[in-house]
Amino acid sequence: MPTPAEAAQWAPERILELAQAKAALHRELDAMRSEFASVKHQLEWFRRQLFGQKSEKRAIAPSPAQMHLGELPIPASQPEVPGKTVAGHTRRAPRTDFAQDKDESALFFDEARVPVETIALANPEIEGLAPEQFEVIGEKVSHRLAQRPGSYVILKYVRPLIKRRDSIRPVIPVSGGAQRSTRCRNSGKETRQLWPSQSRVAVR
């Protein structure tokens, strides 16, 4: 550090040079102060992010009037749910061919309103047998619904039920159009079998 006597002997150029150096040091010091303030501000922000409180992390005190779920009162009885009355109904059982019914005495038509044509069927089992070799023990009767131009008719098939004297089991004949358990109808002059789904015709 020069003394005042030594500084008085300096040349003007020396004094100007020292003055410029001092001004440069002041400018550099101001820049460093500004940078330090910026770094300090960033450091404080990071410190608050890591260790400080945030609004979204802040725990809000519950209201004293608010109850927890486990503290809700349980009703003594459950409320009755209103019901809806449904009208009852009965389904009709699917009908099969009446020739397959065990009880054929219950006819599916009114004999007083529908004409009945009886057809006697021959028993092929008695061909070649003498009358003393068999006996007629009953009849097997089945009905078929047939259609004729403008009307309906019931075909009544009568099949003799025989028993051979030299055997134990009775013999039931199977013949022609009566061997299928379906009803038939007459189209023109020829009679053909009618499927069960087609034979459910109300006879009036």
* pLDDT in the model for residue 202: 37
Nearest 10 degrees: CA dihedral of 46, 51, 57, 60?
-140
* pLDDT in the model for residue 28: 95
List, for residues 47-98, the tens digit of each pLDDT value. 888 887 655 556 667 777 777 666 666 777 777 778 888 877 777 766 554 4
* pLDDT in the model for residue 189: 40
* pLDDT in the model for residue 199: 39
Evaluate if pTM is beyond 0.85.
no
Inter-residue contact 163 to 134 (CB < 8 Å): yes
* pLDDT in the model for residue 183: 43
Chunked into runs of 10 residues, the chain (204 residues) has average pLDDT values of 79 88 94 95 89 64 71 71 79 58 57 82 81 83 81 83 72 47 41 39 38
* pLDDT in the model for residue 104: 52
Query: Look-up: residue for tokens 């890591």?
Result: 50
Rg (CA), the chain: 60
